[in-house]
Structures are given as C-alpha cells and as structure tokens.
C-alpha cells in the first residue's frame, strides 16, 4: 500500500470513529405506502414495517377524556345547521369517556426518524409540519 492509500485508510478510520460516538442519527422521510407501511428516507432507501418502530405520535390509539356537560343542544344531522336548541332545556352530563385518536400515517406524510446507533431500526418520532 502506498502513502496515499495509508492516508485514505487513516481518514476513513477517523470518520468511522466519529460516527461511532454519535448515539443517534436523525433522518427525514415520506410515507409512500400506509399498508404495509413503507417510508422513503431522504430519497435514498425504502424502509419497511420490520425496520420501523412507531411512536404514539404516528399511530391510532385509545385514550380517555373528561367532557363537561352538554347543555340544551343536540346534533340535527344536517350539515348546514349542525346543532339546534332542545326544548325543554336540559343537561346531559358526559363525564369520562373513551375515545380513539386516529393519528396513523398516510401516504404523503413527511416524518422525522431517528436511527438506532449501529442498527437498522428507525424510530418514527413525528410528522413534519
């Protein structure tokens, strides 16, 4: 190996040493398929479901909410009027209810990903924008 080859090897070793000290790498991607989930990362590679770990920010999930009282109105089913007064006036106590938040990824969504150190798994943290 000549001097130029040795310099290249030392340079590559330095780059590899710097990369190994980074705990994570941040990437940006776009969802190209929702089912099965596929994400195109920085126009360089397509990741499939087996490589992706989804945070709660990008999945459908169930949770509880506490709602107040609904007073004197009901939904009419008419898109234009929405709600109408109720007669006689009365109150419905809603209390704590279970809801589903539909937050799953869709084609075209931009996402922020974090690659696990020295791994092939990516954590999908959130949408962009």
- Annotated domain spans of the chain: 22-59+104-129, 61-101
The predicted pLDDT at position 57 comes to 94
Strands, E assignment, the chain? 24-34, 37-41, 45-48, 52-54, 61-71, 73-75, 83-85, 91-101, 110-116, 122-127
The predicted pLDDT at position 97 comes to 84
Q: Per residue in 58-86, pLDDT tens?
A: 999 999 988 776 665 555 556 666 666 66
Which residue ranges in the chain fall short of pLDDT 50?
A: none
The predicted pLDDT at position 68 comes to 72
Instruction: Give the CATH fold of the 22-59+104-129 domain.
Output: OB fold (Dihydrolipoamide Acetyltransferase, E2P) (2.40.50)
pTM above 0.75, yes or no: no
């Amino acid at each position: 190996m000549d001097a130029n080859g040795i310099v290249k090897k030392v340079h590559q070793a330095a780059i590899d040493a710097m990369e190994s000290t980074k705990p994570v790498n941040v990437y940006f991607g776009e969802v190209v398929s929702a089912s099965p989930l596929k994400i195109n990362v920085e126009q360089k590679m397509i990741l499939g479901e087996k490589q992706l770990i989804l945070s709660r920010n990008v999945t459908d999930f169930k949770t509880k909410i506490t709602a107040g009282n609904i007073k004197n109105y009901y939904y009419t089913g008419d898109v234009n009027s929405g709600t109408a007064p109720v007669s006689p006036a009365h109150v419905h106590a809603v209390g704590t209810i279970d809801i589903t938040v539909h937050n799953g990824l869709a084609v075209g969504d931009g996402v922020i990903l974090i690659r696990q150190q020295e791994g092939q798994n990516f954590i999908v943290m959130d949408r962009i924008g």
